[in-house]
Amino acid sequence: MYKIIDYYKNYLTTLDFAGNVGGLVVPLSKQDEDNATIVFPAYRDTDPDTCTDGQYRAMTPDDSQKSVMYFEEITAPTIVEQKSYYEFEARVRLVCWLNYSAINYEYHNTDLLQIKCIKAMPEKLANGAVENYNTVRLWFDKTIEKKEAIFSAYTYDKFKQYLMFPFDYFAIEFILNYRYYNDCEGDVELNPVKCL
């Protein structure tokens, strides 16, 4: 699923208000200077240089960003075995935080920006567009009520200041459905990386 979401992420990077755009995030935690644990969303690079520390990128809003966009897994993929393929279905959420002072201070039409995000990503991808995945579909399901709860999985330090104008945010849920055909199965190729 990471690679499929990464593919869709690329469509969002073309939007004129796109800033820090990531794929599927995972919650990571670290200790701050007061030894308190802080949890934040981090995007896992699906094509990382495994010998550097840059495999995870923080997706934390701050006023130096134009916007921050990332996907969260809301429900884990269900898998249904068919005769010639496995069908997967999951619910994912696009979270978008906006800094209007870096986009356009007088512009604050969040509804239009939500529509732009939905329209930027095609509902169906060509077979094979993402490696061995076929019949990939991502369709809009619903918008999420604008509440701080959108960010409740994370413990941002002093974050509430970034939820009031000139900042804004929204979240949109999608259904992701895709197939993996049996004839695409192969042996797992072991290739351990040895860093010097």
What is the DSSP secondary-structure string of 6-27? HHHHHHHTTSTT--EEEEEEEE
Q: Identify the H or E element spanning 141.
A: strand 133-143
Model pLDDT, residue 51? 39
Model pLDDT, residue 140? 96
Could you tell me the pLDDT band of residue 80, with boundaries at 50, 70 and 90? Answer: very high
Cβ neighbour number for residue 120 with a 10 Å cutoff: 15
What is d(CA 64, CA 56) in angstroms, rounded to the nearest whole number? 19
Task: Name the residue among 114, 121, 116 with its Cα closest to residue 95.
Answer: 114
Task: Name the residue among 157, 66, 74, 75 with its Cα closest to residue 107.
Answer: 66
Give percent of the chain with pLDDT exceeding 90: 44
Model pLDDT, residue 82? 87
The rounded mean pLDDT for the chain is 83
- The end-to-end CA distance of the chain, in Å, is 31
Model pLDDT, residue 52? 47
Task: Answer yes or no: are the C-beta atoms of 137 and 166 closer than 8 Å.
Answer: no
Model pLDDT, residue 4? 93
Task: Name the residue among 179, 151, 175 with its Cα closest to residue 74.
Answer: 175
The conformational region for residue 158 under phi > 0 = left, psi -120 to 50 = alpha, else beta, is left
Could you tell me the pLDDT band of residue 50, with boundaries at 50, 70 and 90? Answer: very low
Model pLDDT, residue 55? 58
pTM of the model: 0.84
Residue 188 has pLDDT above 60, yes or no: no
Mean pLDDT for 156-180 is: 84
Residue 54 has pLDDT above 80, yes or no: no
